[in-house]
Structure 1
Amino acid sequence: MKNNNKVPRRDFLFTGLLTAALGGCNDKKNPFAQDEVVLTGEKVKLLSVDGEVIEIDKAFLKPIPEVPHLTNAEEREGIPGKKFVMVIDLARCKNLRKCQSACNHMHQVHPGQNWIKVLGMEDADHTAPYWQPTTCMHCDEPPCVKVCPVDATFKRQDGIVLIDNERCIGCRFCMAACPYSARVFNWEETLMASQGGSEEHHHHHNSGPTSVAHQVKGTVGKCDFCPEMTRQGELPHCVSACPNGVFMFGDLNEDTVTNGAETFRFSELIKDKAGYRLMEDLGTKPSVYYLPPVNRNFPYESGLEKETGDEK
């Protein structure tokens, strides 16, 4: 009679080694086995990394680790002992706009209402053009904070200027006061909300207090230096998304900035590369510094293809 249970010698040896390895583990649970997921049948909508709304079973949602729940008052206070700054190296910018797409995705910003704008600049006739990423400047003397009638726009002790969307009444005084045109008005619901995503699922995608992180129709939005990332000791999304190391972020008190791959002493970088701030004469004291576009990594023309069909 033919033995249908016969196992080839090679497979037998592999099975024996695997059994021995599992048997030697202190934990009785198979370390090679995946966690068992019990499907609930309840579908939720999430925003994929490609910007598409997808549906998954609620059982696959996992709590976000290492993100403590903060009250509105705690979030408004900021991180003690920190003074965040950003340095943008114009010599490295190729107008790829990876920073812009990453920011839009993580904050659910509608196309055409970019919090980061990459502008084609030319200082004077017969001078060389260059690309200039522009964000909120997180000024030490922010005029937007002074004109807000309901204390919705505020400055934290760590230098970050934020908007409390639960307080904002949409008067847009702050937009008029900002000399950098860094703010946009939310004329529509966020991408998730417009597709039927719930508040719970929004927070799973973008952690942080609702009053600060979540965009609300009829309120103002802007670059926020990704406070949920800085609280975890991580870089803002624009910094980590840029493949050319254009953005550097760090702490002025520690005198250090980094783009993830390189780390610099902030004071030496600004001094050696002739760093400057936009509209210095206004006295706003921005926390964003620029390095001039000298010895550029890419010619200006190499970034022009992104301008074709770009939304205004």
Structure 2
Amino acid sequence: MSTVAEKLRQLRRDAGLDGVNNSPGVDGPAAKAPPSSPLFAPSMGLTLRAGLRRSCPLPSGTVGTFSRQREKEHRLHALRRLIRAREQTPLQSRRILPPPAGEEIAPGLHYVEAQFAYAASATLDVPAIDEAPIERNRLLCFDTETTGLAGGVGTRAFMIGVAAWADDVLTVRQLYLTTIAGERAMLETFANWLRPETILVSYNGKSYDAPLLKGRLRLNHVAHRLAELPHIDWLHPTRRVYKGHLPNCKLATIEREVLRIVREDDLPGSEAPAAWLAFLRGQSSTNLGRVLEHNRQDVITLMRLGDHFTQL
């Protein structure tokens, strides 16, 4: 017997096909299967056969008489039957949770508005930009909650909050996503809030919030004037005044130590991405409501910081 024939016979014995299509000069499907085919993948073959034996056992008394080829055909037929049955079974729909607040103004986008009244000066005298004094009606305090804190192209803002004065009433407007598809509508709505006379106010927004929003606006092809408007970032004057006097210059620290604002049941900003993802997965909407409250307090604090620096 030639070396090639001997190797072929050895391969058939190793695969358990010594009795199938073994006549000289006849090459069946099993004989033609190359070693790289699924027939020669032990882990895949054993897993598939074990699963099918449990779900679709062969008729009793026939295992010993079925050839390996017949057994394969039977398992394949059973597998197809299971697939058809699965396709005909309706999938269990994901539990749809109601959004924590607001109304839907576009598919996947919710809007929340609240108003607050407190005594404040009509103008701000802050050496943060060239103009002084500043009419408070021009200020637009903004803050974002994002899917991650590292930034980058893959990071999105799933919530945008702004605070602005109108008729001696501080109005807080918030947008948040209930699906990714609502991102463009959210960005368009935010861009429409930016007027030519607007002065942006943030806390570390020049380094994080504004660049992130500019990138998302550009990727979604939304026209905006975000780069044209003057921008006050309270982080920088805060550091000049309080660095070395306080443990740090985080907004929560400034609230507690300087403005004497104590938050109750506040959800840290670092937990906001997990809260939003949990809502999308149908797990809970409670923490997303806490994110809304956290964001609302942030933009109110930004406005109160202006009053604080004016008094200084």
Computing the radius of gyration over CA atoms, which structure comes out larger, 1 or 2?
A: 2
Q: Same fold (TM over 0.5)?
A: no
Does 1 or 2 have the higher relative contact order (CA < 8 Å, sep 6+)? 1
Which structure's residues are more often helix, by fraction? 2
**Shorter-chain TM-score category?**
under 0.3
